[in-house]
Structures are given as structure tokens and as C-alpha cells.
Homo-oligomer: A and B are copies of this chain.
Amino acid sequence: MKIVDFQILPVAFPDPPLRNSTGVHEPYALRTLIKLTTDDGFTGWGETYGGSQPIESLQAVQEVVLGADPFSLEALRLQIPEPRTYAGLEVACLDIMGQALGQPVYNLLGGKVRDPIEFAAYLFYHLDCPARGECLSPERMVEQGQALVREHGFTALKLKGGVLPPDEEIATLRLLRAEFGPDFRLRHDPNAIWSVETSIRVTNALEGVLEYMEDPTWGLEGMAEVNRNVNVPLSTNMCLTAFEHFPEAIRLHSVDVVLSDHHFWGGLRATQEMAKICETWGLGVSMHSNSHLGVSLAAMLHAAAATPRLTYACDTHYVWLEEDILVGGKPRFTDGYMSVPNGPGLGITVDEDAVARMGEDYVACGLTGRDDVGYMRKFVPDWEPLRPRW
């Protein structure tokens, strides 16, 4: 079987003005869809980051992809050593393999060990916007959490922090704890915006409140120093994001939990490999999420279903997405869980008209990359992306 057509489809979709340590989300989030077609007429979908850089990286491997056998994943991985470029292509190949074989992708990854998959939704501080107003206080954040729990049944939430001064975020998490009770799992992710000293102080202040603290400070050394001085588990999707980071991260004991993300680890098989490394060294495994569409959602569900070492509910940004590109609309969370698609391949059907509309929006919106800093300056003209800020 050979890949005979390789389409790179940039898309843009509305995104609320969500705050993070770097700045604020622009009005559109960008993604790139990948559509592969084989000489047998099978079509597979992949999805990766948006904007011109990922598109150029995919264009650069066009010669490698065209003519390749979608079953020869490892050979393709050797030819596309950049994990972010390979990842979306691997997902599209697995989608093709599964369809050709009449098997769901999870059965090409070792079979299901769990279904449905548990998720922890993101809590975001955000600027004023039509549907939601503004959310920049502990009280408004509790209301946001209440709405997410009411609508989707989550019993775990992650606060995207590093936005307000640390003591206000401590107050936010304590109010969430008081509201949702001692069994509800809370995570805090300030995206490495704190100094080591602030990280230690805030993390210790939140002992008993947090399930884990994610990336309080920057770098493997800094994280290790924080880790030596706190009892709350530390997690990361910033300082340990590639296989080559493992040796030093393990030597230093920088973290206790690694967030997988097939988009930057290099696909679903790579996600399983990193999880096995975590199992071998006794590290926990969670899953990272950012703005994405239904192709990546399906890929994440299959990876989560087939990866034994997944010790925490997966993060999900999906509740912030207004419209998706899947026939049948957005899959729903029930009691904070989502079912794994059981059809062949990824088990989804992509609405190509919706992709085309989002493709027009990509051109119309004029964005070619993510610039949370630049957009923040529309609201705070002298904004600087300090690290550490506190």
C-alpha cells in the first residue's frame, strides 16, 4: 500500500481570550490537518500545530511521505526525525491502517486497557468576552468550575495559572477546594513563571489542596530544587518533553509525573514508549492538551485507551472549543469521561466542508503563528513575557 496524496490543510477557529503566563489567546486558534490518501483509496487524518512553521515542516517531508507504505511507521519515523512533524503523519497512517484492517487504532497499539477515558478540564482566567464575561478572581473561577462540573461531570480540574500574583492563585485554589470538597482533584499549572523560591512557597502553601503542581519553575535543575523542598508531586510538559531529556530529568529527579502529548513526543507509539520509561523509573503519567480539534481528540483517546501506564486523568482543553470538524458534532463528556471510538481507524468521520470553512477562516484571520505576547499588548501595552515574573 502506498500513500499517493498528502494534503496539508491549515485551519483556524474561534478561541476565547484565555489568559496564561505568557499573555492571552488570540481570537483564533490555528491547527493543521493532514489528509493522506493511499493507492487503495483509503484516507487517513492527522492533526498538528497550526501556523506557517508546522506547515513548512510538513511540506519539507512531502517527498518522503508520498510513496511511503503507511504500515512502515518506524521507517517513516527514521526519515522524519523531528517528532512534531512525524506525529500527525503517524496518526494519519494509523487511521489508514485501521481502516484497511477493519480495526480501531487502539488495537494497533496493543488493545484497550481502559474505556471510557477520564479527563480533567482546564480552568482559565480570561479577559472579557461576549459569552462569558471576565474571569480574573477566585469567585469567578469557582463559578467557572461549577459550570464545567455541572455540564460535563468532571471530578478533576486544572487551573491554568501564572496569571495573577501567586497569593491570588493560592486563594483561587483554596476556594475551589472548599467548594468541591476533599476528594475532588485539583492541579495548578503556572507554566514555569515562578522563581524556585516562589515555587517552593506556593507549592507548600497548596499541600493538601493539589493533586500535583505542574511546571512551577523553569528547567530541569530548577524543578529538581523545588522537588527537594516540597511534598506535592511535581509534573511537567515543559522541562521533559522529549526522549533526550529523560536521562538528566531522571538523574536530577526533576519531576514525579510526566504529561504525555503525542504531538510533541512523536506520535501514539512514542507516547507508549515514554509511558513505559515512566513506568520503569516509577514516574506517573498524565496527558497534556491544548487547543485542538476532533482528529487529535480521537488520537488522544486511542493512546489513552491502549497505554497501561496512565496514572492520572488526562487534561482536556476540548471544553473550550466551540465547533469541531467531526460529522455528528462534538463528542460529549459523561461524568468527566469520554468513550473511545470503536470504529475502524480513528473511528471518526471528518466533515470536509467544515474543514474548508475553517480553512477560509485561516486565510481570513491573517494569523500565521501563535502570539499570546503580542495580543496581550493590545490590552497591556508594556506587557513583557517575564520568566520568572514572581
Instruction: Check A247 for interface membership: any CB of B closer than 8 A.
Output: yes
Pairwise interchain contact A69-B111, C-beta atoms closer than 8 A? yes
- Nearest Cβ distance between residue A95 and chain B, in whole angstroms? 15
With contact pairs A101-B101, A244-B280, A280-B243 given, residues A308 and B111 touching in the complex (Cβ less than 8 Å): no
Q: Can you list, as one digit per residue, whether each of A301-336 has a CB less than 8 Å from chain B (1) or not (0)?
A: 000001110000000000000000000000000000
Pairwise interchain contact A107-B71, C-beta atoms closer than 8 A? yes
Query: Which residues of chain A in 71-92 are interfacial with respect to chain B, using CB atoms and an 8 Å cutoff?
Result: 71-78
Distance in angstroms between the alpha carbons of A251 and B113 in the assembled complex: 32
Pairwise interchain contact B113-A246, C-beta atoms closer than 8 A? no
* Stoichiometry, copies per complex: 2
Q: Determine which of B74, B101, B280 lies in contact with A247 in the assembled complex, contact meaning CB atoms within 8 Å.
A: B280
Instruction: Check A370 for interface membership: any CB of B closer than 8 A.
Output: no
Please, which residues of chain B bring their CB within 8 A of the CB of A307? 74
In the A-B complex, list the 10 residue pairs whose CB atoms are closest, starting with the nearest: A72-B111, A74-B110, A273-B276, A71-B107, A243-B280, A73-B110, A101-B101, A74-B113, A71-B111, A246-B280
Instruction: Check A269 for interface membership: any CB of B closer than 8 A.
Output: yes
Instruction: Check A277 for interface membership: any CB of B closer than 8 A.
Output: yes
Pairwise interchain contact A74-B280, C-beta atoms closer than 8 A? no
- Nearest Cβ distance between residue A252 and chain B, in whole angstroms? 12
Pairwise interchain contact A281-B247, C-beta atoms closer than 8 A? yes
Distance in angstroms between the alpha carbons of A77 and B110 in the assembled complex: 10
Please, which residues of chain B bring their CB within 8 A of the CB of A280? 243-244, 246-247, 277
Instruction: Check A103 for interface membership: any CB of B closer than 8 A.
Output: yes
Distance in angstroms between the alpha carbons of A292 and B113 in the assembled complex: 32
A-B contact pairs, 12 of them (CB 8 A): A71-B111, A72-B110, A73-B111, A74-B109, A74-B307, A74-B308, A76-B111, A77-B308, A110-B269, A250-B250, A272-B273, A273-B273
